[in-house]
Amino acid sequence: MIRANDLVSLSELFGINEPAGRPDHEPVADPPGRRAESPVRRSAWRAGWSALLIGSAARGMLALLAGLLLASLVPALAGWHPSVVMTGSMQPSLRPGDVVIARPAQPRQLRPGQVLLVTDPDQPGRLRLHRLVRFTDDGSLILRGDANPAEDSSPVPPAGMHGVAVLRVPGVGLPMLWARQDRYLPLGMAAMLLGTLLGLAGAYRPAESQPPRPKPPAQARSPQAQPANGGRSVRRRLSPAVCLLTGLAVLQLAHPTPAEALFAITAGNAGDNWAAAQYYSCRQAVLASSPVLYYQLDETNGRTVTDSSSAGATGTYTQNGVTRGQPGTCNFDGGTAVTLNGTSGYLYRNSQSTAPSTFSWELWFATSTVKGGWLIGMGSSQTGQSSTTDRQLYLTNSGQVGFGISSGGTKRTVLSPASYNDGGWHLADATFSAGTGMRLYLDGQLVASNSAVTSAQSYSGYLRVGYDNLTGWSSAPTSFFLAGSIDEVSAYATVLTATQIGYHYGAGS
Amino acid sequence: MARPSRRAARLLGAGAAAACFTASAAVVWHASYSAFSATTANPSSNWATGSVALADDDANTAMFSASNLKPGSTGSRCIAVTSTGSLPSAVKLYGTGSATTNALSSWINLTITQGTGGSFGSCTGFTPQASGASVFTGSLASFASTATGYSTGLGNWTPTGSGSDTRVFQVSYTLDPTAPNSTQGGTASVGFTWEAQNT
């Protein structure tokens, strides 16, 4: 309810006459001192041009406000949805405090660019007022606040769409915004401004309507009987004021729901990715490449070197200089490695074979030696220094890895640019065929190759690991014996691809 | 100066009211037209009523690009997220663009902890919050499938909007030691998105 008393007091403040028909108290005579000074002069001012202009201006402002209120309220009668913009992410199109009226619409009637009132997909129980950007494939709506740098992250299902904004009434919802934000200073100032306008609206008073004074109590009790007195004019002014305040109250308290023109911004870290090794187990990786010899070197005693391939190519450790059960590099397999002492330890395949024309060798090694040594290759003798050796991987004194092939009576070598005698585990691979030539891989990467070498000398011999004759080979090392650890020795009758070698390396590293 | 005639007074009073009432219609029409004509306005940088702002220190570099993982493989990175908005807001963390092959993401254990100190370059100095430090503990797959957007996002960070507020998140992963061989060769990817919305 409108508290008419307050309005009347307001009228008094502006020197309007005592109203008639006050319901709650008996009219009493004014205190003698209160209105003693010069009622005539005041009346004269109020009947003048300045009072008329001020009054008219105030009425105009009130009419403007009333018009805006009507625009905010009337569409609701047609089922349209008024809401007050609470935040500013639709700036400059919509500002906080604007009342926006949304007309119900079907999702298929929508087109990008329209401002929609939707159920907030992120914060339950709230409404969001943003502009339609596009539709997703499943018909959901992607919105964006004009002032937001990016589209809203959550799509809005069509069922959450309440309507298309069609009317904007600037600023009318500000009191509601202030009230919700507990900003009482602007709220109070707005109320005072409204009161001032209401008072000023009645500033002008034609001279002949000045009421007689003092007022007879009987007249005050029956205002209807007074043809043109102050009571009626107060009432006349009161009715628009009551309408206005009722409208404001209805608007602020009852109808429009707050709608967020929501500010949103994201920061983040995109493209994080993880890739599992192709093989967790060295054994799985090697066996998948179909080796013709596979020494896992997991023996803890004895001289027999077990072949884990299906070829049964068993080998033998030398009597001395080999330490079994050393930590290896294939942790997932749980096996061990062997360490060679660099002066007497090595191992060899038991049976003789023809030196292959297409092959791949592979082994893991870890060494800090500066005297080099034989890693793996073919020798004409099973033990001791062979008279003929080739197809071998070896370490130079500087720790580089060489791959040698004896071709047409010439010792051909490719050498790794980098050194690998750093104590850590490394995977060395050599592949050869007439079609692909010599290729040397370290740690899964091709580091040296020579495709011009298309043949290798023919002879029969033994696969030797850790020691054989390197005389005459490029950068031949001081020691033919390797001082270091080796693990997972394998041989293939095929040229391993870079992918396969990468898988082997991934499993053991 | 002569007093205004009654007629002039009536005309002026009613005229002013009528003109302004009409003006209100014009105001509404103009305001509506400028707001709802179907043109997308350019983002305004004039924040009369405040805004939210959020940034991180990753310089658009992914935290993780981990390859050749084996059961037990582990890693950890930090990222500092800073709110400089002038409105109170709530920041949520969720995953975007998640994908996996061989179900690898189900076997990557993810731990996200919030605190202070440390940066994208190094977690040195990172100190978890005294209470409520844990943001997420579970598999990467679970993170990507439960925290999919702002409404399902994780975290309780509510910057007040009064000045700059920085929070550091430590993200750690471990490929589960019992991950089966079926995950070999698998891949997983996700984006970590922090979103601030005003409250």
- Terminal Cα-to-Cα distance of chain A (whole angstroms): 82
pLDDT score of B53 = 83
Q: How many residues does chain A have?
A: 509
| A477: confidence class by pLDDT, cuts 50, 70, 90 | very high
DSSP secondary structure code for residue A41 in this structure: H
Q: Which of A60, A124, A204 has the CB atom closest to B17's CB atom?
A: A60
| Mean pLDDT on A468-487 | 95
Spatial CA neighbour of B92 closest among B162, B171, B158, B161: B158
CA distance B140 to B68: 17
Pairwise CB contact (< 8 Å): A273 & B66: yes
Chain B residues touching A87 at Cβ < 8 A: 49, 87, 198
CA distance B80 to B57: 6
pLDDT score of A55 = 84
The distance of A111 to chain B (nearest Cα, Å) reads: 9
Type of residue found at A56 = S
Spatial CA neighbour of A128 closest among A144, A140, A113, A104: A144
pLDDT score of A248 = 65
Q: Which residues of A119-151 are buried (b: 16+ CB within 10 A; e: fewer)?
A: bbbbbeebbbbbbbeebeeeebbbbbbbbbeeb
CA distance B100 to A399: 41
A152 and A117 Cβ atoms separated by less than 8 Å? no
Chain B residues touching A501 at Cβ < 8 A: none
Q: Which of A70, A263, A269 has the CB atom closest to B191's CB atom?
A: A269
pLDDT score of A38 = 55
B176 and B107 Cβ atoms separated by less than 8 Å? yes
| Mean pLDDT on A290-319 | 94
Q: Which two tokens stand for residue B120?
A: 């994208």
- Terminal Cα-to-Cα distance of chain B (whole angstroms): 59
The distance of B186 to chain A (nearest Cα, Å) reads: 5
Q: Which two tokens stand for residue A158?
A: 């069509």
Chain B residues touching A147 at Cβ < 8 A: 43-44, 47, 51
Chain B residues touching A165 at Cβ < 8 A: 35-36
Pairwise CB contact (< 8 Å): A272 & B58: no
pLDDT beyond 90 at A290: yes
B 143-162 residues with CB < 8 A to A: 149-151
Query: Higher model confidence: residue B14 or residue A474?
Result: A474
> Chains A and B: how many Cβ contacts under 8 Å?
285
Longest dimension (CA), chain B: 105
pLDDT score of B142 = 95
Task: Characterise B46 by phi-psi region: left (phi > 0), alpha (psi -120 to 50), beta (else).
Answer: beta
pLDDT score of A63 = 84
ipTM of the complex: 0.79
**Considering chain A, what percentage of its residues have pLDDT values greater than 70?**
80
The distance of A268 to chain B (nearest Cα, Å) reads: 4
Q: Strand ranges (DSSP E) for A256-409?
A: 257-260, 264-276, 293-295, 304-305, 315-317, 322-327, 336-341, 347-349, 353-354, 359-366, 373-379, 389-395, 400-407
The distance of A125 to chain B (nearest Cα, Å) reads: 12
Q: Which of A274, A331, A503, A505 to mutate to test the interface with B (most CBs of B within 10 A)?
A: A274
pLDDT score of A30 = 45
Type of residue found at A322 = V
B128 and B75 Cβ atoms separated by less than 8 Å? no
The distance of B196 to chain A (nearest Cα, Å) reads: 5
Give pLDDT tens digits for A64-87: 888 888 887 778 777 788 888 888
A61: nearest CA partner in chain B: B20
Helix (H, G, I), strand (E, B) or coil at A180: helix
pLDDT beyond 90 at A403: yes
The distance of A453 to chain B (nearest Cα, Å) reads: 34
pLDDT score of A344 = 95
Chain A residues touching B39 at Cβ < 8 A: 113
CA distance B63 to B70: 19
B198: nearest CA partner in chain A: A263
| Mean pLDDT on A183-189 | 89
The distance of A506 to chain B (nearest Cα, Å) reads: 6
Chain B residues touching A149 at Cβ < 8 A: 43
pLDDT score of A289 = 95
Query: Higher model confidence: residue A308 or residue B10?
Result: A308
CA distance A224 to A230: 11
Give pLDDT tens digits for A218-276: 444 444 444 444 445 555 555 666 666 666 666 555 455 666 666 677 788 888 999 99
pLDDT beyond 90 at A15: no
pLDDT score of B35 = 66
B184: nearest CA partner in chain A: A278
Establish if B174 touches chain A: CB-CB under 8 angstroms.
no
Chain A residues touching B190 at Cβ < 8 A: 272
Average pLDDT, chain A: 82
Give pLDDT tens digits for A337-385: 999 999 999 999 999 999 999 999 999 999 999 999 999 999 999 999 9
| A197: confidence class by pLDDT, cuts 50, 70, 90 | confident
Give pLDDT tens digits for A97-149: 888 888 888 888 888 888 888 888 887 778 888 888 889 888 889 988 888 88
| Mean pLDDT on A187-210 | 79
pLDDT beyond 90 at A182: no
Q: Which residues of chain B have pLDDT under 50?
A: 38-48
Pairwise CB contact (< 8 Å): A113 & B38: yes
B35 and A115 Cβ atoms separated by less than 8 Å? yes
Pairwise CB contact (< 8 Å): A332 & B70: yes
Establish if B133 touches chain A: CB-CB under 8 angstroms.
no
Sign of CA dihedral A251, A252, A258, A261: positive
DSSP secondary structure code for residue A109 in this structure: G
pLDDT score of A45 = 75
The distance of B130 to chain A (nearest Cα, Å) reads: 25
Q: Which of B17, B96, B193 has the CB atom closest to A59's CB atom?
A: B17
Pairwise CB contact (< 8 Å): A60 & B71: no
